[in-house]
């Protein structure tokens, strides 16, 4: 966010925005963990496909190496994703 755009916000709002960006990776990992749970519970192919698209976007936002992302997307295995997610949450991105 540019500093010019930040002048439109109150100091309190700027702190909230800055905290969000400071913790964006943690937030995204939590959302990814939620998606793993949703993948296990998905009851239709359409819902699974939508979830996998969201998973792919989340991995790109987290800057997961493209080879790892491609491997996970090729297999589309919630178990494989969960294993990687555990490593990423432990800081071994």
Query: What's the pTM value of the predicted model, to 2 decimals?
Result: 0.79
- Residues ≥6 apart with Cβ < 8 Å to 9: 17
Higher per-residue confidence, 49 vs 1: 49
Residue 14 has pLDDT above 80, yes or no: yes
Which one, of 29, 71, 72, lies nearest residue 52 by Cα?
72
Q: What is the pLDDT of residues 57-90, one digit of tens each?
A: 999 999 999 999 999 999 999 999 999 999 999 9
Q: How far apart (Å, rounded) are the C-alpha atoms in residues 83 and 1?
A: 33
Whether residue 77 contacts residue 65, with contact meaning beta carbons closer than 8 Å, is answered with: no
Domain boundaries, the chain: 10-89
Residue 91 confidence (pLDDT) = 82
Higher per-residue confidence, 37 vs 17: 37
Q: What is the pLDDT of residues 19-67, one digit of tens each?
A: 888 888 899 999 999 999 999 999 999 999 999 999 999 999 999 999 9
Q: How far apart (Å, rounded) are the C-alpha atoms in residues 17 and 42?
A: 33
């Amino acid at each position: 966010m540019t500093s010019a755009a930040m002048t439109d916000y109150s100091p309190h709002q700027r702190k909230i925005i800055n905290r969000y960006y400071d913790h964006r990776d943690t937030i995204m990992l939590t959302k990814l963990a939620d998606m793993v749970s949703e993948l296990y519970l998905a009851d239709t192919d359409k819902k699974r496909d939508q979830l996998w698209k969201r998973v792919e976007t989340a991995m790109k936002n987290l800057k997961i190496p493209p080879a790892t992302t491609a491997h996970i997307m090729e297999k589309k295995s919630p178990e494989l994703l969960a294993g990687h997610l555990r490593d990423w949450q432990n800081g071994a991105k």
